[in-house]
Amino acid sequence: MERVAIIGAAMTQFGQREGEWITDLLAEAGIDCLEDAGVDANDVEHLYVSNMTSGEFEGQTGVMNALVHDIGAIPAYTKRVDQTSASGGAGIYAAWQSIESGASDMTLLVGGEKMTHRSTSETTDIIASVTHPVEYNAGVTLPSFAGLTARRYLERFDAPRESLGKVAVKNHKNGVDNPHAQFRKEVDLETVLESPIVADPLRLYDFCPITDGSAALLFCPESVAREYTDDYAVVTGVDGATDTQVVHEREEPTVMNGVVESGRGAYEMSGLGPADIDVAELHDMFTILEFLQMEGLGFAEQGAAWKRVEDGDTERDTGELPTNTSGGLKSKGHPLGASGVAQGVEIYEQLVGEAGPRQVDADAGLCCNVGGFGNCVITTIMEAAQ
Amino acid sequence: MERVAIIGAAMTQFGQREGEWITDLLAEAGIDCLEDAGVDANDVEHLYVSNMTSGEFEGQTGVMNALVHDIGAIPAYTKRVDQTSASGGAGIYAAWQSIESGASDMTLLVGGEKMTHRSTSETTDIIASVTHPVEYNAGVTLPSFAGLTARRYLERFDAPRESLGKVAVKNHKNGVDNPHAQFRKEVDLETVLESPIVADPLRLYDFCPITDGSAALLFCPESVAREYTDDYAVVTGVDGATDTQVVHEREEPTVMNGVVESGRGAYEMSGLGPADIDVAELHDMFTILEFLQMEGLGFAEQGAAWKRVEDGDTERDTGELPTNTSGGLKSKGHPLGASGVAQGVEIYEQLVGEAGPRQVDADAGLCCNVGGFGNCVITTIMEAAQ
């Protein structure tokens, strides 16, 4: 079987996109991605849209059908893929399957979400609807899970509160060099640690913002990729796995089984291990999640991720494992369905040498996209073709 | 590459399921399907949910994560697949890809929707949100498209109004023998033709009802299927295709390009043609759609489907091409995400000889699942293993 290649990538400006619909954002990223790859819309065979909530946020469904029309790709087959905040990762997995199964020789994946036009309380409620009914009806929100988990982590592993803050400082610093990031400003540790409490011990700067935006990737078999370019990336590992959706049933909340299992599958498929990964995009919806993913993916022993962050190992220009070079969800923003695709965009750009001032030296990269509070996680490993 | 087999099927009672959530319905069909196949939940590797609107209808998202928990399939990977009213067909295509690509050796597909707890006007509005914003904002609904198309068809092909009514009569008759159907009562032509006008010339009995329900299918490679049973079905053809979402841009509204293109792809993949199909489930959300699909799939010349219906060719016990032996969406009901899966359940049961009083003699069957007003269509061809 041929390997699955990625030959193009694009993302819109992330942030507040007033006066634009979800369909506008999806079309912008989709068209830019095709242009980036030099592929005509007529050559797209499948077009997948990663999106969680166009119906809830905008009262508009069928956005994938609008997109295939708007970019001129009819009669390409289309569907929407939803895995809550990991819809983008689920889209990557679906696009990979479409190529690997022979169903399509050219699959465009576009992830996007339009969120900022709703109030914060409405938005929080829509996002909280991903939790199990048992917990949703008890009034639980994702930030509350994050606060509880952070407290448990800090106490269990005797980690300093500052270590969480350093994740935010690092990712904001990286975001300055990402022209598409929602926030392009550095923050210092003091600002993070003194920002308003959201879910104790987590504060405002421990959380990603609410964001509008879209991102896209173009997939094809490696033989087709070579017709277009020599600089492409290859998806060599991808897997997804669930953990119980009822978070209070988990044995140990600081261990994310979905991360562990999906990582195991992706490593096995690629033949690589944690030490082979040169750059990683982790799902830092909350700072604590970056620690939990580093540990679940074998980048640190359990309870030791905070030390690697403190030691500077995840810094972009000087670290052994540059992490969230894009700025992460923290500073780049988190338009739900777009985020997993945008992680892929960053790794693709790093592998083909198009990351500009964020460029690191990388032959292999990894994305980890987390749905809900670790309910379902997709891990993807990409390698440079050359 | 191995062929993709289906080794189990189940569906819940379709109708009004008061006091039950979407997650209850999905779990019921999923568990019954595993039991039908004799497969343990722990052996499920991927679990896909076909559902369009759990967030809009129930304020509950992430239902696939709830399901994987509720049936005990953790850490199986899961995602939701949405292609509006063709979400079930899109789920079949996704499940096929998951097996064919080697990503999974056991994929459970569960489609479902919970709709009847909302008012008819709310439901109509949610469903209308699948139309292109240009048309949605003009107040267009799917029934209005159906009425306009039916008028055009009757005039263009000089077809009698009664021929449409006969689709309803036939499908209601078939539904009597389906224990899971929402309506198990025959209707006579007079009742159909004198029922209240909904969208002239279409009347109440030309439309499918609003329905709660769920349906499930279990997919695996053929070599795995043989470990469980000798009586299984094989998906030998499947394809999806779009037509413009902006219906008023179509050259000829009585031709559904998505049907034509997806049918072409499915026939080509299977090596079969229309004459080889022994039984068909068509998406009769409106009676007129049964004609348009018969013609798009080559079961009748353009403008001639109504004659085949008048001639009795699509009758279950006496026709050459029994169509909608399940009762169709018309009498079985149309819980959006479940419908395409339930079409597959009927064809599977016909092929493995489990259709009871509805049983016809069939080696090959076809399902056609229509998203929106033909915005995207998935056609699936299955054959008996033996």
Q: Report CA dihedral (A54, A60, A64, A68) to the nearest 10 degrees.
A: -140
Amino acid sitting at position A249: E
The pLDDT value recorded for residue A27 is: 98
Q: How many helices (H) and strands (E) does chain B have?
A: 15, 11
Residue in chain A closest to B51 (alpha carbons) equals A82
Chain A residue with minimum CA distance to B83: A79
A-B CB pairs within 8 A amount to 202
- With a cut of 80, say whether residue A355 has pLDDT above it: yes
Distance from CA of B70 to the nearest CA of A (A): 9
Q: Are residues B41 and B172 located together in one domain of the fold?
A: no
**Beta-carbon contacts of residue A137 (< 8 Å; ≥ 6 apart):** none
The pLDDT tens digits for B333-345 are 999 999 999 999 9
| B51 and B83 both lie in a single domain | yes
Instruction: Kindly list the residues from chain A whose CB atom is less than 8 angstroms away from the CB atom of residue B100.
Output: 100-103
User: From CA B55, how far away is CA A80, in angstroms rounded?
Assistant: 14
Based on the fold, state whether residues A303 and A368 are members of the same structural domain. Answer: yes
CB contact under 8 A, B77 and A93: yes
Query: Residue B131: what pLDDT?
Result: 87
Give helix A161-175 / helix A287-296 axis angle, nearest 10°: 100
Q: What is the mean pLDDT of chain A?
A: 96
pLDDT at A124: 85
The answer to whether residue A124 sits within a structural domain is no
Q: Pick from A23, A83, A245: which is nearest to B79 by CB?
A: A83
Residues B157 and B109 in one domain: no
- The pLDDT of residue B134 is 82
Q: Are residues A313 and A193 part of one domain? A: yes
Q: What are the E-state strand segments in chain B?
A: 4-11, 46-50, 77-82, 107-113, 197-199, 202-203, 213-221, 233-242, 279-281, 364-371, 376-384
Q: What are the residues whose beta carbons fall under 8 Å from the beta carbon of B155, sequence distance 6 or more?
A: none
Helix (H, G, I), strand (E, B) or coil at A203: strand
Identity of the residue in A66, A79, A242 whose CB atom sits nearest the CB atom of B82: A79
A53 Cβ neighbours under 8 A, 6+ residues apart = A113, A115, A126, A336, A337, B55, B61
- Please, what is the angle between helix B63-70 and helix B22-37, to 10°? 50
Residues of A in contact with B126 (CB under 8 A): 55, 61
pLDDT value for A341: 98
CA atoms within 13 A on the CB side of A183: 23
B133 vs A contacts (CB less than 8 Å): 21, 23, 60, 66
Q: What is the pLDDT averaged over residues A124-143? A: 86
Question: What average pLDDT does the segment A175-181 reach?
Answer: 98
Q: Which residue has the tokens 């239902």?
A: B63
What is the three-class DSSP state of B8?
strand
Tens digits of per-residue pLDDT, A23-44?
999 999 999 999 999 999 999 9
| Count of domains for chain A | 2
A238–chain B nearest CA distance, Å? 9
A242/B68 Cβ within 8 A: yes
How many CB atoms sit inside 10 A of residue A33's CB? 26
Say whether B79 and A52 touch across the interface (CB within 8 A): no
Residue in A21, A90, A100 closest to B101 by CB:
A100
Based on the domain organization, do B152 and B99 belong to the same domain? Answer: no
Among candidates A65, A130, A378 on the partner chain, residue whose Cβ is nearest the Cβ of B371? A65
For residues B362 and B278, the answer to whether their CB atoms sit within 8 Å is yes
What are the chain A neighbours of B130 within 8 Å (beta carbons)? Answer: 61-62, 65
Q: In this complex, do B245 and A94 lie within 8 Å of one another by their Cβ atoms?
A: no
CATH of the domain at B273: 3.40.47.10
Q: What per-residue confidence (pLDDT) applies to A139?
A: 84
Chain A residues in contact with B73 by the CB 8 A cut-off are 242
Decide if pLDDT at A320 tops 90.
yes
Which tokens go with A310?
């403190």
- Please indicate, yes or no, whether residues B360 and B222 belong to a single structural domain of this protein: no
A323 to chain B nearest CA, in Å?
A: 25
pLDDT at A158: 97
**A150 and A47 housed in the same domain:** no
Cβ(A221)–Cβ(A99) under 8 Å?
Answer: yes
Q: Quick check: is A221 in a domain?
A: yes
Residue B170's closest CA among B180, B162, B182? B162
Q: Which of A63, A70, A108, A242 to mutate to test the interface with B (most CBs of B within 10 A)?
A: A242
Are A152 and A109 found together in one domain?
A: no
Contact A266, A249 (CB under 8 A): no
The answer to whether residues B333 and B357 belong to one domain is yes
With a pLDDT cut of 90, the percent of chain A lying above it is 90
Per CB-CB distance under 8 Å, the chain B contacts of A375 are 62, 65
Q: In terms of CA atoms, which chain A residue is nearest residue B80? A: A82
Using CB atoms, which residue from B65, B96, B378 is nearest to A371? B65
Hey, what are A234's tokens? 């290859």
Those residues of chain B that have pLDDT short of 70 are none
In a domain, A313, yes or no: yes
Taking the mean position of all CA atoms in its chain, how far away is CA B263? Answer: 14
* A123 lies in some domain: no
Is A133 in contact with B245 (Cβ distance < 8 A)? no
The boundaries of the domain holding residue B251 are 120-208+236-384
Q: In whole angstroms, what is the distance from residue B108 CA to residue B85 CA?
A: 20
Q: Which residues of B touch A103 (CB under 8 A)?
A: 93, 96-97, 100
Selected for mutation to probe chain A from B107, B124, B245, B259 (highest A CB count within 10 Å) is B245
Quick one: A217 and A185 in the same domain? no
Of B1, B21, B241, the CB nearest to A77: B241
A135 versus B50: the higher-pLDDT residue is B50
Region at A103 (left for phi over 0; alpha for psi -120 to 50; beta for the rest): alpha
Both B50 and B146 in a single domain? no
Assess whether pLDDT exceeds 80 at residue A1.
no
* pLDDT score, position A263: 98
- Rounded Cα–Cα distance for residues A277 and A297 (Å): 10
Q: How close does chain B come to A142, measured CA to CA in Å?
A: 13
